[in-house]
A = this chain, B = another copy of it.
Amino acid sequence: MPDPRILLGPGPSMADPRVLRAMSTPLLGQFDPEFTAIMNDVMELTRFAFETGNERAFPVSGTGRAALEAAITSIVEPGDRVIVGECGRFGLLLIEIAERCGAAVSAVRGAWGSVLDPDPIAAELRRAPTKLVAIVHGETSTGVLQPLEAIARVTHEHGALLMADCVVTLGGCEVAVDRWGVDVAVAGAQKCLSCPSGLSPLTYNARAEDAMRRRKTRIVSNYLDLGQLADYWSPARFNHHTAPTAMVYGLREALRAFHDEGRAARFTRHRLHGDALRAGLDALGLTIFGKEPAERRLAFLTPVVVPEGVDELRVRRRLIEDFGIEIGAAFGQLQGRIWRIGTMGYSASRRNVLLCLAALEHVLRGEGFRTHPSAGVDAARAHYRAAGV
């Protein structure tokens, strides 16, 4: 039994205890009427989470990356043109997945830490017929939140489909698939849903399904063939893989917890604790990475610039060894330059924010970084007080 941790990295977040309890429920066979009823619950709750009326709304039996690959490999045929918006690590992943599927990928790139304008995407769409535009809704590597409506509009004007990587956003902020015109949306379990990873919800509309039906070539993957998965997650109950029963129990409970809390309350909670954290970090004299305004940043994932003279890795090690608190490192061009502090799902609480700020102050002082004693905790407490918490 490992030491308990306070997980404030970019994921996994702490699993909700009610999710963990659900995961230890004894198993059912996958065609047991009690189990197929649970599958129906999961689909209905997935529609709630994505704010969609799509018939197709079910989880892929793998991590977020599996669900992203399922969507791309099921829609794209070798030689199809795909435009990927890239301004972070997970944009690079979408490019890699699409290239492996044999797509002709056009990358529209932006600076890490910024969002992408629709204009260069529109320009790229005008250049040649395009099957799919893929974009990251919440870029976990930089903390930016990409607005999707304008990109959806221009994508549809050119007859393409829009796919959004909502791995980090679902359950933490609005993901209004139908209203925004997103054709395919893919999520993860271990971020704002506070479920262990291993089962990843997605949804797609009739346009995306039609594109899959009109394929001329067979999907190279059996495991990630969305057509077969949709038939399994349907009244036909077409036999595919053996359902990961414990994960299905866990995901249902995580989605129920989201539903019970309600969208507005949940998004407000994520905003509140992220803002309190940032107030505290600011009072400690730390700088938040990136220049985008608040509405274009993730409320629940805060990128913090590592101050000059501070050992990035040693700070994380001391936080975990002395205080049992995990915060995140960074990828690629940002590696060693920023930390990423997540306040997602069950991790997003007043206590965790205050513990993190208190521990960070001590560790930074050990690195020779000067702060006013208790400034971080005091500022966060003041933020909570002002919010009436």
- Taking beta carbons and an 8 Å cutoff, which residues of A are in contact with B? 1-5, 7, 9, 11-12, 14-15, 20-21, 23-30, 32, 34-35, 38, 61-66, 69, 73, 93, 96-97, 100-102, 188, 190, 196-199, 218-224, 239-247, 250, 320, 326, 331
Given A65-B222, A101-B220, 15 more contacts at CB 8 Å?
A11-B242, A12-B30, A14-B26, A20-B25, A32-B326, A61-B62, A62-B66, A63-B241, A63-B242, A66-B66, A66-B241, A188-B242, A197-B241, A239-B331, A247-B247
Q: Is the CB of A244 within 8 A of B29?
A: no
A198 neighbours in B (Cβ, 8 Å): 61, 198-199, 244, 246-247
Chain A interface, >50% SS class: loop
Most chain B CB within 10 A, of A65, A199, A222, is at A222
> Which are the 8 A-B pairs with shortest beta-carbon distances?
A198-B244, A196-B246, A20-B24, A2-B34, A63-B241, A24-B24, A65-B241, A197-B242
Q: Is the CB of B20 within 8 A of A21?
A: no
Sampled A-B contacts (21; CB under 8 Å): A5-B26, A5-B27, A5-B29, A7-B28, A9-B29, A12-B242, A14-B26, A15-B26, A15-B27, A20-B24, A21-B24, A61-B66, A62-B62, A196-B246, A198-B199, A198-B244, A198-B247, A221-B224, A239-B331, A246-B247, A246-B250
Bound-state Cα–Cα, A35 to B9, Å: 15
A1 neighbours in B (Cβ, 8 Å): 25
A220 neighbours in B (Cβ, 8 Å): 73, 100-102, 220-221
Bound-state Cα–Cα, A93 to B240, Å: 10
